[in-house]
Structure 1
Amino acid sequence: MALSVAGRYAIITGGGSGINLAFAKKLLSRGCSVLVGDISLRPEAQDLLKQYPHDPLTPPSANRPVALFKKTDVTSWPQLSALTRAAETAFPQIDIVVPGAGIFEPRWSSFWNPPKSPTNPNSPSRDDADGDPGHYAVLDVNLTHPIRLSQLAIAHWTSRRIPGSLLIVGSMAGYVHGIGSPLYFASKHGVHGFVRSLGRLRDTVGIRTAAIAPGAVNVYSSPIKTRASANRISFL
């Protein structure tokens, strides 16, 4: 059954650009208010907030959806909690959560550019070789963040005994593998396994879980205009 999003309320991480910005635009156009959590907003995202302004004195509705922004580093658990609290303050409830922020194994967090060490002093990596515990940013953003935000969302829905929809942005990389970017492939395989593991939530507590798995994405003149080939893992 199709889910109407009119009059609903959503959190989207990574909505400041790209696929997640396009998704935020689609939800708003269909009457769903959106809180974007991201490090920053591209001009297109700033324009979207102006198009759907938030007036604290006028509650959002299906006829007047609003777009809000909260600066969020998704690798920070306190900031993810603050993002959830901001949505609970701005909206009557949260209906849809999209942990969408992700990165494609940049040189500064790549398996093949290991953290700096005495034998590797010139690595571009910003991952901390002396971290205790250690972290790879690719895994923090692509895997740990959607797991943690999902926990926060599920807590919101189950504590209020309301249904919810969780949509995680996976990747075709979750079905394949390659030596060039092993951390990225590992993160997306993990995301897909995580989503499959939550499939029974629909029948037990009314929480719909799904992932989309985009392939190559072409961005034209605007990050809002995207074209992607995608498969969809769903437990709706």
Structure 2
Amino acid sequence: MVVGDFSLKGKIAVVTGGGSGINLEFVRLALQSDCRVLVADLRLTRDAEKLVSNSGGKAAFTPCDVSKWSDLESLPARVSKVFGNDAIADVWVAGAGVFEPPWSAFLEDTETENYKQLRINVDHPIKLTRIAMKTSIAANKPAVVLIVASMAGILGVYASPIYCASKHAVVGFTKSMSQADIDENIKIVAICPGLVTTPLWTREEAKPQWEQFSFVADDCLTPQEVAVAMVSLVEDSKYKGGTLLSIAKGLPVAELEHMEATAQGPWSVKTWMDTCYQPIRAVWNNLRPKA
């Protein structure tokens, strides 16, 4: 048995990172489809607060630090508390993530025990999938798990190696879980967007990365565009378990991959790479013995 068509209407969704960006837009679309939503995030943006408060009880917020398994494991009980004792989530969106923050990055290397970025971007979606499967199988209900991955899970960028590694990990995990759709009636899929105008890029703290990565909002997807694709990925039977749905503006993935690997693309790409990699090269140059 496979999940097949899976309308959001009448369902319950849990969305980590639903307080802003892509995931907030998914929450908005889910509510418009008459889906109840538990938003699990560290905090809500002002827009998210308005959306939840005006939802007529169809949306609720629960504080959640996705790097803590205890917070993730509390989500099924929270669903029951908010939406009724027999309530069980049908859709689980692992949306929370970070992009090479200074406190967890390969170049700065300030952490002493582990890379928290990996706990957030890798451990969290894998653990949330396990929780979703355990909950749904015990209730003999179908479910969909949607992991927010990235085009970085297909390509590689020298300036953000941990982020790319984390997204490669969840891409591999999603592909590995395709059989769950057939065996357990649990569809596990991933969305792989390119650059999106989310707080990962637009917040004040991200400004140092704008110049490095040549960030231009007009070249990016909007959160709404990605959220629409996410809804299709959940609902449409043509997307089976293990599906990786990429959505991006610009060059096709294969061409980008080739240029990244060979550094022999058009002049604009070579210029972008030189700008993007300059801070990394500066760090390594400072480590070399002086003549």
TM-score range, shorter chain: 0.7 to 0.9
Paired letter, 1:102: G
Paired letter, 1:83: L
Gaps of 5+ in 1: 55-65, 116-126
1:145-156 paired onto structure 2 within 5 Å: 145-156=124-135
Q: Which is higher, the Rg of structure 1 or of structure 2? A: 2
The yes-or-no answer on 1:5 pairing with 2:8 is: yes
The yes-or-no answer on 1:235 pairing with 2:232 is: no
**Which residue does 2:189 correspond to in 1?**
210
Aligned equivalent of 1:87, options 59, 79, 87: 79
**Which residue does 1:106 correspond to in 2?**
101
When normalised by structure 2's length, the TM-score is: 0.67
| TM superposition shift of 1:135 | 2.0
When normalised by structure 1's length, the TM-score is: 0.82
| TM superposition shift of 1:137 | 1.3
1:1-236 paired onto structure 2 within 5 Å: 2-54=5-57, 66-91=58-83, 92-115=87-110, 127=111, 129=112, 134-219=113-198, 226=223, 234-236=239-241
Paired letter, 2:15: I
Segments ≥4 residues shifted beyond 6 Å: 229-233
Alpha-carbon distance in structure 1 between the residues aligned to 2:139 and 2:197: 40
Q: Which structure has more strand as a fraction of its residues? A: 1
Alpha-carbon distance in structure 2 between the residues aligned to 1:53 and 1:190: 38
Gaps of 5+ in 2: 204-221, 242-291
Contact 2:25–2:224 at 8 Å: present in 1 too? no
Contact 2:118–2:162 at 8 Å: present in 1 too? yes
Contact 2:22–2:224 at 8 Å: present in 1 too? no
**Which residue does 1:60 correspond to in 2?**
none
**Which residue does 1:63 correspond to in 2?**
none
Contact 1:12–1:20 at 8 Å: present in 2 too? yes
Alpha-carbon distance in structure 1 between the residues aligned to 2:96 and 2:45: 14
Aligned length: 207
Alpha-carbon distance in structure 1 between the residues aligned to 2:182 and 2:39: 29
| TM superposition shift of 1:83 | 2.1
Q: Which structure has more helix as a fraction of its residues? A: 2
Paired letter, 1:226: P
SS in 1 for 2:108: coil
Paired letter, 2:63: K
**Which residue does 1:59 correspond to in 2?**
none
SS in 1 for 2:191: strand
| TM superposition shift of 1:87 | 1.1
Q: Which has the higher contact order (CA 8 A, sep 6+)?
A: 2
